[in-house]
Amino acid sequence: MGISVELQYLETGQVLENALVGPDTCRMEIRSPKITAAAQPGQFVMVSVAHDSTDPLLRRPLSIHLADNGVLTLLYRMVGKGTRLMSQMKKGDEISLLGPLGRGFQIHDAAHHCLVGGGLGVAPLLFLGTEIKRRRPEERLTILLGGRSRNELLALDDFQKIAPVHLATDDGSSGLHGLVTDLLGQEIEGPATIYTCGPTPMMKGVASLARQRTWPCQVSLETMMACGMGACLGCTVQRPGFDETEKKYVHVCKDGPVFEAAEIWR
């Protein structure tokens, strides 16, 4: 029996680049060799965004967008104080990171891997797609991305470098005029393994279609998080349809953020 050791680090990274790449969305590259070397797709880091003060006090969870050659990349939307402070950081600034944290995506043998991302949900999928291509070059990989409009389809060039990409937009400005779940129904024939991240209604739709077709499906959940390490129970999610005898709740930071869809929704 193998022994698995979880490596986690508190590391002071150095900002290499921090640029606006979409509506209210930035991409930050950080030199962070220890976390990068241990990172698996679907894991996240807790970022301290307080420069010289304690406000905001709590670290913020962000998915690992890429981890390569000592450089960790984050893709983040400016939604509040923490992410706005992050967006003001410059090349050479130091940033404190805790990670890699959580249970990421499991990459098993599959004839066809299909990544389904919506909005900011693409953040963990680029690392996943890159690793599937590297570890299983002979297996088919397809990427489906959805967004409100063309300019909200994030990291498109990066995804197009690793696999065929199909698009869906709410306003029809690029690809299919409709939902990424419609795209999944239309584009993917035959058995596939699905990996999805995005708004909860989208992931539920993806999981439901996968269940009907008996395809394995992994989902990456998002909740508010205070500690990111299983200590505060702030990230508890109820599993609808499950009862006390089965484990009614999961903790997204420790049990996830990635789950088999059937672990969460029936």
Ligand X SMILES: Cc1cc2nc3c(=O)[nH]c(=O)nc-3n(C[C@H](O)[C@H](O)[C@H](O)COP(=O)(O)OP(=O)(O)OC[C@H]3O[C@@H](n4cnc5c(N)ncnc54)[C@H](O)[C@@H]3O)c2cc1C
Q: Is 149 helix (H, G, I), strand (E, B) or coil?
A: coil
Question: Facing residues of 161 across strands?
Answer: none
Q: Is 73 in the site for ligand X (CB under 6 A)?
A: no
Cα gap 30→14, rounded to integer Å: 5
Question: Which residue lies nearer to ligand FES by CB, 33 or 234?
Answer: 234
Rule CB under 6 A: say whether 120 interacts with ligand X.
yes
Neighbours of 229 (CB within 10 A): 16
Half-sphere exposure of residue 102: CA atoms within 13 angstroms, side-chain side: 30
- Pick from 62, 144, 168, 264: which binds ligand X (CB under 6 A)? 62
x-marked contacts with ligand FES along 6-45 as a string, rule CB under 6 A:
----------------------------------------
In order of 112, 145, 189, 233, the CA distances from 62 in angstroms are 28, 20, 33, 18
**Which CB sits closer to ligand FES, 198 or 228?**
228
Asked if 263 contacts 250 with a C-beta cutoff of 8 angstroms, the reply is: yes
Q: Does 238 bind ligand FES (CB under 6 A)?
A: no
Q: Is 178 near ligand FES (CB under 6 A)? A: no
| Closest to ligand FES by CB, 86 or 252 | 252
Q: Is residue 233 a contact residue for ligand FES (CB under 6 A)?
A: yes
Is residue 237 involved in binding ligand FES (CB under 6 A)?
no
| Partner residues linked to 46 by β-bridges | 61, 98
Query: Of residues 7, 17, 80, 177, which one binds ligand X by CB under 6 A?
Result: 80
Of residues 196 through 235, those in contact with ligand X by CB under 6 A are: 222-225
Q: Binding partner of residue 188 among ligand X, ligand FES, none, CB under 5 to 8 Å per kind?
A: none
- How far is the C-alpha of 133 from the C-alpha of 17, rounded, in Å? 26
Binding status of residue 251 toward ligand FES by CB under 6 A: yes
How big is the CA angle at 217 (ends 213 and 77), to the nearest 5 degrees? Answer: 130
CA dihedral 228, 230, 236, 241 (to 10 degrees): 130
From candidates 41, 42, 82, 100, binder to ligand X by CB under 6 A? 82
Does 75 sit near ligand X (CB under 6 A)?
yes
Among 11, 15, 34, 44, interactor with ligand X by CB under 6 A: 44
CB 118 to ligand X: min, Å: 13
42: Cβ contacts below 8 Å, ≥ 6 apart: 63, 64, 102, 103, 104, 105, 124, 127, 128, 218, 220, 257, 258
78: its two tokens = 């400016």
Question: Is residue 79 near ligand X by the rule CB under 6 A?
Answer: yes
Which chain residues interact with ligand X by CB under 6 A? 44, 56, 60-63, 75-77, 79-83, 120, 123, 222-225, 257
Q: Which residues would be at the binding site for ligand FES (CB under 6 A)?
A: 225-228, 230-235, 251, 253
